[in-house]
A and B are shown apart, each in its own frame.
Chain A
Amino acid sequence: MNNDTLIPLIGVVTDIRQDTPDVKTFRVNALEGGKVFEHMPGQCAMLSIPGVGEGMFSITSSPTNKEFMEFSIKKCGCLTTWLHEMEVGQQITIRGPYGNYFPVETELKGKDLLFIAGGIGLAPLRSVINYVRDNRSNYGEVQIVYGSRSKDDLVDYQEIISEWQDDPNIQVNLTIDNPQEGWDGHVGFVPNYVKELNPSTNKTVLVCGPPIMIKFTLAGLKELGFTETQVYTTMELRMKCGVGKCGRCNIGHKYVCKDGPVFRFDQLDELPDEY
């Protein structure tokens, strides 16, 4: 019998990084080393600990990373709590990759890009950002606006500081919700900060974060003159199978696990408001 996508593969956790008080980034390798499978930026994988549960997570590492995959996971439920308690060397089951991806090789190619992320919403965008950095000549200007509740809640802060901020070809704008000791950067919510920054409307926008942030960011972008066809996001709904069959992650007739998770806002606009 052919392989079945529902029967998972085994991965091993080879590194664990505590990014924020409730977010850890896990490095996953195949048992024999290397990656369990290849993916494109924005795609997801179903991770599981047998007996605990399965959960869909976006792959936060870039496909250009040929050594391993990474997942930044926020502790919020049963499975994620278990994952947070893992130690290096723990094996997990993994299946995928699932879903579509940001059109890095088509629609985004040659474009000026504006990434807007809030909190754990950086996880799926980080894959695209690093993909773009590794194929820098294929894209125009790159600007990243990233905010979180506090300095401590900025995911991947070390990478942002040590690599992205130092990269002369990228503009990075960080913000936190409230003033904090040791923080001399911008303070305020992401949607407002985007408006203050007043980015050029010829940019293509990739946005991900809490629903409320996305809602106000989109409204702000529209005020600045952006249209919905310029803005991409990635969705998260309850997913079980990953292949558009189990019937729960649909928005209208589109299945987030198969037709998504990446949607352009004009595509979402045509769908019923149920997400």
Chain B
Amino acid sequence: MLKISADRLNDLFNRIASEQTLYIPVDHEPNTAEYRKYEDGMKLSESLNTVRSAKDFFFPQTENLAEFKVEGKNIEVKDIREESGDFVVFGVRACDARSFSILDKVFLSEPVDSFYKNRRDHGTIITMACTRPAETCFCTAFGIDPTTPEGDVAVFSDGKDYFFLDCTEKGKKFIESVSDMLEDGDTSELEAVREKTRGIMKKLPLAGLKTDSFGGDKLNELFNSPKWAELSESCLGCGTCTFVCPTCQCYDIRDFNTGNGIRRFRCWDSCMYSDFTKMAHGNPRISQLERFRQRFMHKLVYFPANNDGEFGCVGCGRCLSRCPVSMNIVKVMKTLEVK
């Protein structure tokens, strides 16, 4: 496999950044890694994952859809879409990499969302295999192997070198474009590292999490479970879980008066919010119970019902560490599972 030694990683970053925009996770504060646009000298984060997921690259928190000029009774629509520039996201974990295929099922299904597709077409995802999973990790419950991440290119580290494996045509092209910086490497130590990680995965506290009580065929029995009342009791109705979640993709469309026309934008929304389904004449989800239930039913029942059994969760563990009251999908699954 082609590799680059760890001390030359930044040389590679500089090379990539000279050709297209590069984003890498950096630790700008302890324990709050985030993706930043690469600038010379930036150090790749040592954290397992970023606080916010990588979904922002394709589905940003706020984006403009169109602009309108309103003059008297006349309206003019301006298509403000621009072709995205090419970019590379380096260091995406296996969980987030899988989240892209989940988001694809939403945004690339007919009618295709051109805003999402534009960025998807121009982005190259370079994933990085995990070596130090956290106690909050449960990606294996959803069939994800963190030692073999998806993406366009998968990168593996044995501590001394970074090894590059192309997974798609786009990935192949990428590796070719930097191949003069890479050399053939011996992967024997790498295999030992991966084996060790797999051993840790088996020992994770959530390693035994089961999904067989969930899925599209469990619609009404799960919806009508009496346990939602207890589960949702402490929920604050904030959007933290939604916004840090790599697969949550619900959005709102709003208009903003710039003073010089109307800008229509789309922004992340949360089914946990009280006004999410509010209409001029009523609201079908009147209490936090219904809203809380919606979020988990979506991931564990509705999404698999519409997508050949695939769950809408990748087990990244962000909601486990960020919920202000420590309520999360794992607790929901454990409470609702049929034992």
Asked whether any CB of A lies within 8 Å of a CB of B in the complex, the reply is yes
Partner of B281, one of A7, A76, A90: A76
Interface residues of A in 12-66 (CB under 8 A from B): 50-54
> B244-270 interface mask toward A, CB cutoff 8 Å, 1 = contact, 0 = none?
000001111101010000101010010
Of the candidates A52, A53, A76, A241, the one having the most CB atoms from chain B within 10 angstroms of its own CB is A241
B126-134, B151-159, B297-305, B329-337: which one contacts chain A? B297-305
Does A245 lie at the interface of the complex (its beta carbon under 8 Å from any beta carbon of B)?
yes
Partner of A252, one of B70, B74, B83, B219: B219
A50 to B74, CA, bound (A): 11
Q: Is the CB of A54 within 8 A of B253?
A: yes
Does A272 lie at the interface of the complex (its beta carbon under 8 Å from any beta carbon of B)?
yes
- List chain A residues, Cβ under 8 A from B297: 252, 272
Of the candidates A4, A78, A275, the one having the most CB atoms from chain B within 10 angstroms of its own CB is A4
Interface residues of A in 210-237 (CB under 8 A from B): 236-237
Partner of A237, one of B251, B269, B277: B277
Does B339 lie at the interface of the complex (its beta carbon under 8 Å from any beta carbon of A)?
no
Interface residues of A in 244-275 (CB under 8 A from B): 244-250, 252-253, 270-272, 274-275
A-B CB pair tally, cutoff 8 Å: 129
Q: Is the CB of A250 within 8 A of B302?
A: yes
Does B216 lie at the interface of the complex (its beta carbon under 8 Å from any beta carbon of A)?
yes
Q: What number of B residues sit within 8 Å (CB to CB) of A?
A: 55
Partner of A245, one of B107, B118, B303: B107
Does A240 lie at the interface of the complex (its beta carbon under 8 Å from any beta carbon of B)?
yes
- List chain B residues, Cβ under 8 A from A52: 255
Q: A51-B255, A76-B281 are in contact. Are A248 and B271 (CB under 8 A)?
A: yes
A2 to B108, CA, bound (A): 13
Q: A4-B115, A7-B66 are in contact. Are A247 and B298 (CB under 8 A)?
A: yes
Q: Is the CB of B111 within 8 A of A5?
A: yes
- List chain B residues, Cβ under 8 A from A238: 276-279, 284
Q: Is the CB of A274 within 8 A of B285?
A: yes
A259 to B81, CA, bound (A): 29
Q: Is the CB of A237 within 8 A of B279?
A: yes
State the majority secondary structure of interface residues on A.
loop
Q: How far is the CB of A182 from chain B (nearest CB, A)?
A: 29
- List chain B residues, Cβ under 8 A from A241: 251, 253
Q: A77-B281, A272-B223, A272-B224 are in contact. Are A1 and B114 (CB under 8 A)?
A: yes
Closest to A211 in B: B282
Closest to B80 in A: A7
Q: What number of A residues sit within 8 Å (CB to CB) of B?
A: 45
Q: Is the CB of B68 within 8 A of A272?
A: no
Q: How far is the CB of B86 from chain A (nearest CB, A)?
A: 16
Q: How far is the CB of A128 from chain B (nearest CB, A)?
A: 23
Q: How far is the CB of A54 from chain B (nearest CB, A)?
A: 6
A77 to B75, CA, bound (A): 22
A54 to B188, CA, bound (A): 59
Does A9 lie at the interface of the complex (its beta carbon under 8 Å from any beta carbon of B)?
yes
Q: Is the CB of B250 within 8 A of A93?
A: no
Q: Is the CB of B77 within 8 A of A7?
A: yes
Does B79 lie at the interface of the complex (its beta carbon under 8 Å from any beta carbon of A)?
yes
A91 to B73, CA, bound (A): 6
Q: Is the CB of A253 within 8 A of B305?
A: yes
- List chain A residues, Cβ under 8 A from B271: 247-248
Give 10 A-B contacts (CB < 8 Å), ordered by A residue.
A2-B114, A6-B65, A92-B75, A93-B77, A237-B284, A238-B278, A250-B298, A250-B302, A252-B301, A272-B219
A: which residues have CB within 8 A of B?
1-10, 50-54, 76-78, 80, 87, 89-93, 236-238, 240-241, 243-250, 252-253, 270-272, 274-275
